[in-house]
Structure 1
Amino acid sequence: MSVPLGKAVRAASRLRGGGSAFPGLVVERIDPGFMARALRNLPRGVVVVSGTNGKTTTTKMVVELLQGQGLKVFTNRTGSNFTRGVAAALLGEVDWRGRLDADVAVLELDEAHAVHFVNLVPPTHCLLLNVLRDQLDRFGEIDKTTRLLEQIARKTTGTVVLNREDPRVASIASAIPRTAITYFGLDESLRGTFPSDDELRGATGTAPASDLPADVVLETVDGNTASFTMDGETSTVNLSLRGVYNIFNAAAALAMARVIMGGDVRRAPLLASLAAVEPAFGRGESLVVDGQPLELVLVKNPSGFRLGLKSFDAAGYATMIAINDNYADGRDMSWLWDVDFDSLKDGGVDMVSGVRAYDMALRLKYDDVPARAVDTDTGPALRTFIRSAQGRPKRIFCTYTAMLAIRRDLSRITDVKVVS
């Protein structure tokens, strides 16, 4: 009875505009074994993608790479990366008997909630991206996050894919000596572009494990063009994704897809699929407003904000920054002081908004970046920003809940992809 009830709750929730994860919470409460039953017999198994940064985009890439290989893929497309989000997504895909028509499940999971999930559903494979200081008011010290990822790896029955360049992620290998491990990594010339958490903070004492052989290596980056080495052969891909952080995520996605496909992998379709991947919602997503592009760039920690600023040239763009401190954003916004905003000095910031708008405006002041307007309410702030920036391309850097609110407001004036 749990599936019909869950589907009914899902239908009612969608009609009322309710949260996409609520039906999952209901079915979790009444039938804790639902996910395990639905996912247990998939031919290519269950894949968990976790880490601090890049989960949503990397999961989307893995899904589309596998679809390009001919697989039917189930995923939690809403970006709700708690277990209830997975359960809710399953309710939309299973039949009335709870059966899922898919070859493989590829699931983005929040670090802490992934531990709960893998205790219910041990994954066949996992992809662990990075460990950065992100929402420490939720997870505690950075080593706690490493231990969470380690627990995911311990529960994995097949292959664990690790980031060779993140010392904390690479160190997980020593905790799972009897597990198959593969790595993705960077050419040495790119390591300064993608610093580890310790390097970001000027710390010493840890270094990438550069002597580890990586299955996929990101060799070069030139704008949206990147070259990757796999099996000793280097291929160049022109990506639809924007932002250097997404390009390293592409190496991770390639490594995971190659593990899942094994000897069945077809290189040319793999690279073609990678070239075609569009940004996940809010992660470099480009919309059109008044005939001009408007880009949404999600920021949630120093690394992500720094790489976002580095990836997108501010020249000629009107800029808005929206910072919230709701639970999904993390309550501790002190990390803003670890971001260098010098690239915004010449053009300034047209609008600062969100619950923590004045904190953000103060931070900009210390870097001598002009902030022309401040409004804590993102709705009116967005309208003012669009009106004042007519005729110019626009870019909004925003935390997660600010992004959701801004996308909702933008959907009233332009085409915004609906995520369901």
Structure 2
Amino acid sequence: MRYRLAVVAGRLARWLLRLRGGGSAVPGRVALAIAPRFLERSVSRLPLGVVFVSGSNGKSTTTNMLTGILREHGLNVFTNPSGGNLPQGIASALLATVPLDGYVRGDVGVIEVDEAYGVELANVLKPRASLLLNVQIDQLNRFFEPTRVVGMLRSIGASSSDFVVVNADDDSLSRVGAELVAEGRDVSTFAVAAALIAASPNGLANVEDFSGAVSAELPAPTVTVAELGARTARLELNGPDAQARSDAEGGSDAEGAESVEIALPARGLHYAVDAAGATAMARRLLGGRFRSDAVSRAMSSLRTVYGRGETLRVGDEDIEIIMMKNPPSLQLNLDYLDEAPEQVFVAVDEGTPDPSWIYDIDLSSLEHVDVISGTKAWQFATRFGYAGIPVGSVVPELRPALTAFLALPKPARGTKTMIVNYEQMMLIRKQLGFLDLEGGEQ
């Protein structure tokens, strides 16, 4: 009876909040207040269990990719599509589909989890496997230093009952993977051709680990990003007898490898790395049921996670949203711009409490900024001034700033471009009439 009440009350809260537009973690809070074991009960009957996806950047995108690939293989997948990766956010996602008895129907759960909440969630959701993406400079006001994040991700990996998939080209995670191997744990890896990393202006932007030799060798990558196009990539799927990668050749010399060409949801090597991680996890999870052509089909029909390279149609023109979650996410997105945007809108608020990291960012891909908004607008305007990048106007209030930017004539080339933090992205989408902030009913 308690779980039925939790579902009903949570859905009522969800409906009331949606009347004003957008999603919220409040429905999840309501459900958990009524039934504290709501999360644990909900996923306990999934035949293939729960898979965690975590890391500094790319969690939402990779979760979306992995979900799409598994669904293309015919699996019924529960996921948290909005990127709500705290307990209340996951509970809110559950309320979209869970029956009144509180048990999710499906084959597997693919859950994006916040690094700091991963261990707590592991105790509740009991993951079968985890996919660890990267360790990058992120939320120093919250995490203080990257080594704390390494420990969090290691705990998530160690909590997985069956296996772990790690990024072999992330110094910190390769060490975590090697430590887990030394402990007798089942570890798989994915990687990037060395030539692609060298060609990227800022590499993969992962934290470098100078702590010394690892305790054991990692298994050879099962998936490698071999080539990168404008919005495409070629993944090399290495055979079971794969040998170590050849650094000199920048690829894999594995025997029995096959390739798959995929579309990417947005520009950049970082999106290809996310795709490699998702494919490696799908391959390990599915075993003999895995089909490379299903990866290609899934990626070609993938819906972009909102705010992550998303293009919105507003009136008669397109607007591209580039989200700045932290220094690496902004830098990599700027690195892979096709050309300097003709029209640029920047909006940053208190969701970025200390924006001083903007001084470490190479802004040379921008020629100017038309409008800057948000409570951090003048701090960003100062940084652009030091970089010699002209700023048209600074309008801290979002609504008039957005009105002024939209009033600009349609660009002669490309699209209007918005560079925003997460909180401003949510507000902008709402003001533009895009209210599907929970990512749709999935």
TM (norm. structure 2) is 0.87
1:66-105 correspondence runs (5 A): 66-105=70-109
Q: Give the Å deviation of 1:14.
A: 2.4
Classify 1:417/1:40 alpha carbon distance in 2 versus 1 (closer, same or farther; 3 Å).
Answer: closer
Aligned to 1:338: 360
Q: Give the Å deviation of 1:299.
A: 0.9
Q: Give the Å deviation of 1:295.
A: 0.5
1:329-358 deviation digits (Å, cap 9, x = unpaired):
x4221211111111112xx01111111111
Aligned to 1:256: 281
Residue identity in the other structure for 1:142:
P
Classify 1:196/1:287 alpha carbon distance in 2 versus 1 (closer, same or farther; 3 Å).
Answer: closer
Q: Give the Å deviation of 1:67.
A: 0.4
1:325 touches 1:333 (CA, 8 Å); kept in 2? Answer: no
Aligned to 2:192: 186
Classify 1:92/1:417 alpha carbon distance in 2 versus 1 (closer, same or farther; 3 Å).
Answer: closer
Please say if 1:395 is aligned against 2:396: no
Please say if 1:224 is aligned against 2:231: yes
1:57-79 deviation digits (Å, cap 9, x = unpaired):
11000000000000000011222
1:118 touches 1:155 (CA, 8 Å); kept in 2? Answer: yes
Aligned to 1:38: 42
Please say if 1:197 is aligned against 2:206: yes
- Please give the alpha-carbon distance, in whole angstroms, between the structure 1 residues aligned to 2:422 and 2:387: 24
Aligned partner of 1:112 among 110, 116, 130: 116
1:159-178 correspondence runs (5 A): 159-176=163-180, 177-178=183-184
Classify 1:250/1:132 alpha carbon distance in 2 versus 1 (closer, same or farther; 3 Å).
Answer: same
1:9-408 correspondence runs (5 A): 9-17=10-18, 19-176=23-180, 177-192=183-198, 193=200, 194-198=203-207, 212-231=219-238, 232-315=257-340, 317-326=342-351, 330-345=352-367, 348-392=368-412, 393-408=415-430
Equivalences, count:
410
2:13 touches 2:30 (CA, 8 Å); kept in 1? Answer: no
Residue identity in the other structure for 2:160:
T
1:240 touches 1:276 (CA, 8 Å); kept in 2? Answer: no
| CA-based RMSD | 2.3
2:13 touches 2:27 (CA, 8 Å); kept in 1? Answer: no
Aligned to 1:3: 3
1:318 touches 1:389 (CA, 8 Å); kept in 2? Answer: no
- Please give the alpha-carbon distance, in whole angstroms, between the structure 1 residues aligned to 2:81 and 2:410: 33
Partner of 2:309, secondary structure, is strand
Farther off after superposition, 68-77 or 113-122: 113-122
1:2 touches 1:27 (CA, 8 Å); kept in 2? Answer: no
1:51 touches 1:129 (CA, 8 Å); kept in 2? Answer: yes
Q: Give the Å deviation of 1:222.
A: 1.6
1:82-132 deviation digits (Å, cap 9, x = unpaired):
011111222222211112111000011111112210011220011111111
1:241 touches 1:278 (CA, 8 Å); kept in 2? Answer: no
2:341 touches 2:366 (CA, 8 Å); kept in 1? Answer: no
TM (norm. structure 1) is 0.92
2:308 touches 2:321 (CA, 8 Å); kept in 1? Answer: yes
- Please give the alpha-carbon distance, in whole angstroms, between the structure 1 residues aligned to 2:268 and 2:197: 16
- Please give the alpha-carbon distance, in whole angstroms, between the structure 2 residues aligned to 1:417 and 1:196: 28
Classify 1:389/1:300 alpha carbon distance in 2 versus 1 (closer, same or farther; 3 Å).
Answer: farther
1:20 touches 1:78 (CA, 8 Å); kept in 2? Answer: no
| Deviating 4+ runs (over 4 angstroms) | 203-212, 415-418
1:131 touches 1:197 (CA, 8 Å); kept in 2? Answer: yes
- Please give the alpha-carbon distance, in whole angstroms, between the structure 2 residues aligned to 1:383 and 1:244: 33
1:10-37 deviation digits (Å, cap 9, x = unpaired):
3234223375211211222332222111
Partner of 1:219, secondary structure, is strand
Runs of 5+ consecutive residues of structure 1 not aligned to the other structure: none
Classify 1:352/1:52 alpha carbon distance in 2 versus 1 (closer, same or farther; 3 Å).
Answer: same
- Please give the alpha-carbon distance, in whole angstroms, between the structure 2 residues aligned to 1:279 and 1:135: 24
Q: Between the two proteins, what is the percent identity of the paired residues?
A: 34
Partner of 2:322, secondary structure, is strand
Runs of 5+ consecutive residues of structure 2 not aligned to the other structure: 239-256
